[in-house]
A and B are shown apart, each in its own frame.
Chain A
């Protein structure tokens, strides 16, 4: 039964009402609630930052900034049942800001920026292969869409809203991205 699969997915990803409750408590100054919200959403936020920045260090910095902003702005969150989209919008804005400042920086010191730069000891060789394929082979929007879908579990329509793209574009880039990724990974497996 698909229904069972649906239930499992919900356990991995807390529902909007749970996240909204956490935000409400964050707004009231609860650090525990911030910790819980962080635990529930950090992979999605980090994943989004990584898809924009393609660099672990930058993604970490952006992720920190995002949760500081959550701490400061939770009171302004309007409960529309889309807490994840809200925090991801913040993440997107910070990632774009970071990209712009990096562009400026790179004019000054060529070669400072390093592709990937992911240092977490939990990352396996296979993880690294998948990540470097996703961040290296895919086009900018393809990797953003594919990672958002895979990591955050947002629907294509929600991704379209977040990225301000037509749904049709998101769908076609998503499918093209997955195909490219499969070809890259399976091609290498075959060798």
Chain B
């Protein structure tokens, strides 16, 4: 029995075993928006925190805030849900969990919400759409980023239920998008004092609640100063004891730039607060024309704990050496080489001319906040698959597959291995983790050769009869 035959048998057995449940599924889809059971209201303010470490994303969903006036004016608004990352988004929801209105609480949120038709949709659909847009705009892609979900509702039970279901929803969405982040959620029952504090400071009620819980530990800290911090910083302060006022991300970036001797205009800074570590600090990554540099800045004193000084006069210590066009390449708003340049990078890499290639797919896409061009083209009987970095033109992935007739014979394992190495331009001593396998696929003898070299992973399928490279993949290790 060949592998192919065996797999066919298995596929068929599963096909036969899988029952048709479509009717049952469609029935349940119809029922999913049942009316909300009204439970007894608890006037007491309640709060609960839970951190989902599924992926490392922090989601802030805030319910309440500016929607409160509306709530009183009309029974239609049952709850207000807000999502805070840096963008703060507030949604008013009725008792059937339909979105009645959506508000952007800051300029970043306006950008995220642009063109999203959320009004009238189900809350979980709207939340998924917002998460998708946040990801597309490059939020939530750092491992330490986070989103806070806050639900404010006069009905604590309903708030808790919404908190739970939205946290799960957001956690799944982030996991599906392979975002490395954590989800933070809280419920807040309505409180007029908190609402007015939130409004005065242009923050969501969820964030206001977080700030008040910190001020409960250390009342010397000012509300407006804390309001300027990110949810992530606030959360870290809350868990680390809120001893004093941190310098903030902007100040940390400015200190790192001054120490490095670069202008703000000539560098991009990514700042990760780590206020719950010891010592509490900010990690600042500076992307400059000289390369990427990492700095550790004390979270309270602003002292530079590690990092390279004066990089222009002393350009040795880059964590990542610069390549032309790299600076700014990680930002979705950064450079874009354009489709034509991406195509020509792929064609050059494949060693074929534009006139030979027939493009079957050209897609501009963001993956993990990085602009990429996904290209597919044919030259004769060979199919090429490329992913090109949209900012730098670097080849992220390349794959080629030749579709040709089977032939007889066996060149042997070593010859097949050498054919793969020759194609990759590597010698046996340069590769590691070499794995080889002799196999029959669709009745044809093939060798599967796999190895690692230079941070890349190579996978080859070699025709066992002729030594032709039938398929190869090269991917970041």
Q: State the A residues within 8 Å of B (CB).
A: 1-3, 5-6, 27, 31, 34-35, 38-39, 42-43, 46-47, 50, 56, 60, 63-64, 67-69, 71-73, 75-81, 86, 89-90, 93, 118-120, 122-124, 126-128, 130-131, 134, 146-147, 149-151, 156-157, 167-168, 171-172, 175, 178, 181-182, 185-186
Q: Hey, which chain B residues are within 8 Å of A63, CB to CB?
A: 18, 21
B473 pairs with A157, CB closer than 8 A: yes
Q: Given A68-B25, A72-B124, do A168 and B173 touch, yes or no (CB 8 Å)?
A: no
Q: Which residues of B in the span 304-351 have a Cβ within 8 Å of any Cβ on A?
A: none
Decide yes or no: A68 and B32 within 8 Å by CB, A31-B26, A78-B136 being known contacts.
yes
Q: How many residues from B make CB contacts under 8 Å with A?
A: 63
Query: Please, could you name 17 A-B residue pairs with CB atoms under 8 Å apart, sorted by A?
Result: A1-B404, A2-B403, A50-B14, A75-B121, A75-B128, A76-B129, A76-B132, A77-B132, A81-B363, A120-B17, A126-B13, A130-B10, A131-B14, A171-B435, A171-B437, A172-B435, A186-B1
Contact check, A46 vs B18: say whether CB atoms are below 8 A apart.
yes
Q: Give the number of residue pairs across the A-B interface with Cβ within 8 Å.
A: 174
Q: Is A124 in contact with B16, judged by CB distance below 8 angstroms?
A: yes
**Complex CA–CA separation, A73 to B176 (angstroms):** 10
Q: Are A76 and B128 in contact (CB under 8 A)?
A: yes
| Cα of A2 to Cα of B414 in the assembled complex, Å | 25
Given A73-B128, A73-B173, A130-B10, CB of A35 within 8 Å of CB of B17: no
Q: A71-B25, A79-B365 are in contact. List 18 more A-B contacts (CB 8 A).
A: A1-B405, A5-B442, A31-B29, A35-B22, A43-B14, A43-B18, A64-B28, A68-B28, A73-B128, A75-B125, A75-B132, A76-B127, A77-B132, A130-B10, A146-B10, A147-B10, A167-B457, A181-B6
CB distance from A188 to the nearest CB of B (A): 12
Give Cα distance in the complex from A10 to B32, angstroms: 34
B174: nearest chain-A partner, CB-CB: A76
Give the one of B11, B126, B439 with max A CB within 10 A. Answer: B11
Which residues does B use to contact A, with CB under 8 Å?
1, 3, 6-22, 24-26, 28-29, 32, 121-122, 124-129, 131-132, 135-136, 169, 172-173, 175-177, 363, 365, 367, 374, 381, 403-406, 433, 435, 437, 439, 442, 448, 450, 457, 459, 473, 475
Nearest-CB residue, chain B, relative to A2: B403
Q: Is the CB of B6 within 8 A of A182?
A: yes
In-complex Cβ contact of A130 among B13, B175, B177, B450 (8 A): B13
Assembly CA distance A17 to B195 (angstroms):
46
Say yes or no: A90-B176 contact (C-beta < 8 A), given A43-B15, A68-B32, A151-B14.
yes
- Give Cα A157–Cα B169 distance, bound, in whole angstroms: 27
